[in-house]
């Protein structure tokens, strides 16, 4: 029961932050295309930095992992929206944006994890 509560609270906080990022991007008219990409890359960066730091400190409790990685980062990032947006590109025949968005999300997401891990070594 404790594990479910940790994931629930972390996921709720991550989802609230994702909503805030979308609202911020809407102020600059960037939310429609860049919203999901931004939160997924930022979430990857956060996850890389958190896990790198925790692994470096040899302190990875299952509770902290559930709260931060599964809960917070899981609630902050959104694969389902990514998949839906890509389906929409395919449905409308916008193959260019489909390839850029899909490839960019994968490459930038992995790069963000690597950068996060690197940054955790500097702390």
Query: Which residues sit in the known binding site for Na(+)?
Result: 74, 77
Residues in the chain, overall count = 123
R_g of the chain computed on alpha carbons: 16
Query: Which residues sit in the known binding site?
Result: 74, 77
For residue 14, the tally of other CB atoms under 10 A from its CB is: 23
36, 78 in Cβ contact below 8 A? yes
Q: Is 61 buried (19+), middle (13-18) or exposed (0-12) by CB count in 10 A?
A: exposed
């Amino acid at each position: 029961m404790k594990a479910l509560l940790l994931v629930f609270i972390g996921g709720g906080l991550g989802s609230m932050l994702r909503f805030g990022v979308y609202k911020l991007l809407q102020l600059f008219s960037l939310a429609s295309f860049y919203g999901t990409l931004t939160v997924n890359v930022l979430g990857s960066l956060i996850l890389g930095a958190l896990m790198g730091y925790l692994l470096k400190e040899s302190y990875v409790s299952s509770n902290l992992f559930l709260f931060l990685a599964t809960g917070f980062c899981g609630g902050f990032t959104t694969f389902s929206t990514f998949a839906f947006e890509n389906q929409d590109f395919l449905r409308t025949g916008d193959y260019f944006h489909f390839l850029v968005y899909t490839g960019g999300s994968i490459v930038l997401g992995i790069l963000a994890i690597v950068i996060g891990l690197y940054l955790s070594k500097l702390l």
